[in-house]
Structure 1
Amino acid sequence: MSLAIPPRDPEVTPKRLVVLAVPALAIGVISALVLWALDRVAAVLQSALWDALPDALGVDPSGWWIVAVLTLTGLAVGLVLRFVPGHGGPDSATTELVEQPQPLRNLPGLLIVTVLALAGGVSLGPENPIIAVNTALMVAAIARLMPAVPKQLTVLLAASATIGALFGTPVAAALVFTGIVAALKSGGALWDRLFLPLVAAGAGAFTMRLLGAPIFSSDLPAYGAPQAVDLLTGALVASGAAVIGLAMLAAFPIIYRAMHALRHPVLIATAGGLLLGLLGLLGGPITMFKGLEQIGDLLEHPDDYDGAQLAAIAGIKILALLIAASSLFRGGRVFPATFIGVALGMLGHALIPSLPLGLAVGCAVVGVLLVVTRDGWIAIFVAVAVAGDITILPMLCVIVLPVWLLVTGAPEFRIAPPKGPAPASTPAGAD
């Protein structure tokens, strides 16, 4: 049996790819710069809130300060959502990673609440908001400067560039968009379709590397020679993490409805901030923020945590993620879900010491991210990136298969967008 090579799409020619590579490069660089600027502003505000201000006041930033800052963060976010034009755009709990571009008037409010959440310690990542911002900006700019470029192509390039910048490599964007591109009805080779997104993602990733942005990395021991028994124990850890992820999925709409029973955005976000503050007081800074730096803290000294501590850390972070996502905070779920996977993987290693730590972490990250992202490629990529060990890749490619059977029938990890009356974050009659 021979494999037929699909005919080349007549619209996708080498000349056209080269011409469009120029705006793709520009989109990649600009998207990375916007992400970098957002991170820098959030980092400055975070340093002021958690270092400079408590030092000046002579208070302990690990005590009641956590509750105060997160409650005030929720209040500030609620006020922005209520009174700033655009109201911060759609509720992140209802959106996918890549959506249609938002109106430009939504972006100031969206940027403000994203910075507040990142700096204030809310357990959400920047991925959904920054992709939304870059997509809206690039669509508006390209429509003015190069109106012949299709809008959907600009959306694809901006999202690819931002994902490449977020993860520090174009591989992540390639994996995310392979399924999207493959699903297109038009013919042509897959790599013709991926060429421009990879140009944009590569430019975004390279720009972030030049700017010195942190990336997923760890110093876990290398896995070494594969062992057959590790397929079984690794699948157990991955399946256990997936089951916990499915429990999170089941609890998400319940918590969302409970928070939205307060109806007013200021009350919802403030109450969410208060609850996040209490969880932060209980779990400490390791269970706060988006989770990237905290993953490094966990993996730097894995022997410092026993099984009970790891279970508590994972449980508190799960509650923090669900409450943050249910309380009108704008942010993504991939980064905090990855932290949960790391904590569960370390717990799996503590319960099954014969399973190497790096593989255990990778398996648990795969299990959680399969539920949260519904994408096996991105789950495997993030797992390998966090473990920092390419030798676990063959094991994960096998272990992911039975775990996928657990999650394939589950709904997406998001709340269905409301129908009918305006949502709480966009009061009826508001502009």
Structure 2
Amino acid sequence: MDRTAPSTAGDPTRTPDPAAVLRSRRYVGLLVLAALTGVPVSVAAYWFLRAVDLVQAWVYTDLPGALGLRPAPLWWPVPPLVLAGLLVGAVIRYLPGRGGHSPVDGFAAGGVPDPRNLPGVVLAALAGLGLGVVLGPEAPLIAVGGGLGVLAVRLARRDAPRDAAAVMAAAGSFAAISALLGSPIVGAFLLMEASMSAGAALGVVLLPGLLAAGVGSLVFLGLGTLTGVGTTTLALPDLPAYTHPDAAQFGWAVVAGLAAALLGGGIRRLAVLVRPHAERRTVTGAVVVGLAVALLAIGYALVTGHPTTDVLFSGQSGLEPLLVGSAGYSVPALLVLIACKGIGYGLCMAALRGGPVFPAILLGAAGGLALSHLPGLPLVAGVAIGIGAMCAVMLRLPMTSVLLPTLLLFSDGIAVMPLVIVAVVVAHVAAARLAPRPPRSPAPGEEPGNGRTPP
């Protein structure tokens, strides 16, 4: 900070005085710059999401009709997803930044992203998400917002210090994701918990980030009104009324947590197993994954009679039709959906680019619907514990995983929260226990691999 803030240079053990930081002129300048940056970043994020929606609608609805294929034939997902693999694989192979970080590694929080990587991130996301891969837009949005935040601070001051660039990167990410999850608070909460998991300091980042998220949410609302498209909302209407939890529902919450740990752990293991092979031949591996996802969607449609789009895409737009039309999904159909989308999710995480949030939400909702056929578990409770438990396993962010079902279920969210907390805690702990143990570093004087000290 400036001269009004105490410096910790040369003494990494000292913690800056929060009051002095807030009083410093430089911090006030960062707040102003964060608010100003939130506007263009949010505009870019809004049109990025609109572009993804337009590509999806054109490829899967308009193009088949223009070619005289109405309705679209069952094999239609094959060409778009093969093309998605080809394009995303080429971006990863040839452009700087490899199209963003791999979804297997979770959220990349903290640090100073390189703005030169932005074209690759945007191209990989538009090609993959627009053409139907089973990943969400949140990770590309975080990367784009962070890169634009760094670019803004460097344009304002060429010799800007690294800590100022890190604060603006976080503020840009907050602004970009502010309205994606239906509320700026949820997006900000996700980024804050991810940053804490990554060991980033939140003291000076929090206020600029929240300010940018608030500005970004207002921009999203304004653009939604101007374009007539509206904004994203995850609140699910028209669900059966829910009263209160009971002992049986708490028991099913434990079961849901354990089941999510097994399912999510399997998806993660699949992604980790496939990634080295996909990275060895980047373009070929991505094309093979795209083809495999298309075949999974076709197989699901053949077996269940439901559309291939249940398996394709992130699941963001398919969540409400699934829950509102839950009477049309039998338990076997839900299990096939979970299997096909789960395998596609794991494959896409291994070879392509995108975020893990929305596929986890849809898988959790489908699992909750299947569980709600058990005695003593209402639909709303089943969906809530399913979403919370699956998000806890796939995101490794337990607090965010509790908050998401609350937002989704609107008025019932508070009543069902105790069940969600139980499911999330069980899932988070069980997933950690089921995960492979990292190799132990040998102790001083110990030979690697045998646990014995040399003679």
Matched, 1:121 2:139: no
8 Å contact kept, 1:234–1:355: no
Equivalent position amino acid for 1:43 in 2 = D
Q: Residue in 2 aligned with 1:379?
A: 401
Once the two structures are superposed, the pairs formed by residues 122-271 of structure 1 within 5 Å of their partners are: 122-146=133-157, 147=160, 150-179=164-193, 180=195, 194-210=206-222, 211=224, 212-219=230-237, 220-260=239-279, 263-271=280-288
- 1:41 pairs, out of 51, 66, 69, with 51
Corresponding residue number in structure 1 for 2:452: none
In 1, the alpha carbon distance for the partners of 2:256 and 2:106 equals: 29
Instruction: Identify if the C-alpha distance between structure 1 residues 401 and 103 changes in structure 2 by more than 3 Å, giving closer, same or farther.
Output: closer
What is the aligned counterpart of 1:315 among 319, 336, 339? 339
Per-residue CA deviations over 1:26-63 (Å, capped at 9, x if unaligned) read 23333322221111222222222112211111124241
Higher mean Cα deviation, 93-102 or 156-165? 93-102
Matches within 5 A, 1:18-33: 19-33=29-43
Match of 1:400, as an amino acid?
Answer: V
Alpha-carbon distance in structure 2 between the residues aligned to 1:181 and 1:18: 23
The answer to whether residue 287 in structure 2 is matched with residue 287 in structure 1 is no
The superposition leaves residues 60-102 of structure 1 with CA deviations (integer Å, 9 ceiling, x where unpaired) of 4241111122112212222333444554244443452425343
Equivalents in 2 of 1:257, 1:158: separation in Å? Answer: 32
Distance in 1 between the 2:96 and 2:261 partners?
39
> How far apart are 1:305 and its partner, in Å?
0.6
Can you list the C-alpha shifts for 1:254-310, whole angstroms capped at 9, x where unaligned? 2223434xx332211111111111112122111111110111120121111111000
Of the structure 1 ranges 369-378 and 67-76, higher mean CA displacement relative to structure 2 is found in 67-76
Task: Tell me how large the CA RMSD over aligned residues is.
Answer: 2.7
Match of 1:67 among 70, 74, 78: 78
Q: Cα 1:173–1:84, aligned 2, differ >3 Å: closer, same or farther? A: closer
Q: Any idea what the Cα deviations from partners look like across 1:300-334, whole Å, max 9, x if unmatched? A: 2111111100011011110111111112x210111
Contact preservation (8 Å) 2:171, 2:209 = yes
1:296 and 2:320 correspond:
yes
Contact 1:67 1:277 in 2 (8 A): yes
CA 1:29–1:322: 2 relative to 1, 3 Å: same
CA distance 1:83–1:153, shift in 2 (3 Å): closer
**What is the match of residue 117 of structure 2?**
106
SS of the residue 1:381 aligns to? helix
- For residue 160 of structure 1, report the CA deviation from its aligned partner: 2.1
TM-fit CA distance, 1:24: 2.2
Cα deviation, residue 349, structure 1? 0.6
Structure 2 SS opposite 1:64: coil
SS of the counterpart of 1:320? helix
Secondary structure of 1:257 counterpart:
helix
Which one has the largest radius of gyration? Answer: 2
Q: Which residue of 2 aligns with 1:429?
A: none
**8 Å Cα contact 1:33/1:208 also seen in 2:** yes
Deviation at 1:376, TM superposition (A): 1.0
Contact 2:84 2:128 in 1 (8 A): yes
Could you state the TM-score of these two structures normalised by the residue count of structure 1?
0.84
CA distance in 1, matches of 2:198, 2:275: 32
Give deviations 1:113-144, integer Å, cap 9, x for gaps.
Answer: 21111111100111111211111121021122
Aligned equivalents of 2:93, 2:199: Cα separation in 1: 39
Tell me, yes or no, if the aligned pair for 1:164 and 1:170 is still in contact at 8 Å. Answer: yes
Any unmatched runs of 5+ in structure 1? 1-5, 413-431
Distance 1:54 1:330 in 2: 26
Q: Distance in 1 between matches of 2:362 and 2:354?
A: 15
Aligned counterparts of 1:30 and 1:248: Cα–Cα separation in 2: 37
Q: Which runs of 5+ in 2 are unaligned?
A: 1-15, 225-229, 301-307, 437-455
Sequence identity, in percent?
A: 27
Looking at structure 2, the residues matched to 235 and 401 of structure 1 have their Cα atoms a distance apart, in angstroms, of 9
* DSSP 3-state at the match of 1:150: helix
CA gap of 1:410–1:236, structure 2 versus 1, over 3 A, is closer
| Stretch of structure 1 that moved more, 94-103 or 311-320 | 94-103
TM-score relative to the length of structure 2: 0.80
- The whole-number CA distance in structure 1 between the counterparts of 2:86 and 2:200 is 46
Instruction: Classify 1:65/1:8 alpha carbon distance in 2 versus 1 (closer, same or farther; 3 Å).
Output: closer
> What displacement does 1:145 show?
0.7
**Which residue of 2 is the match for residue 357 of structure 1?**
379
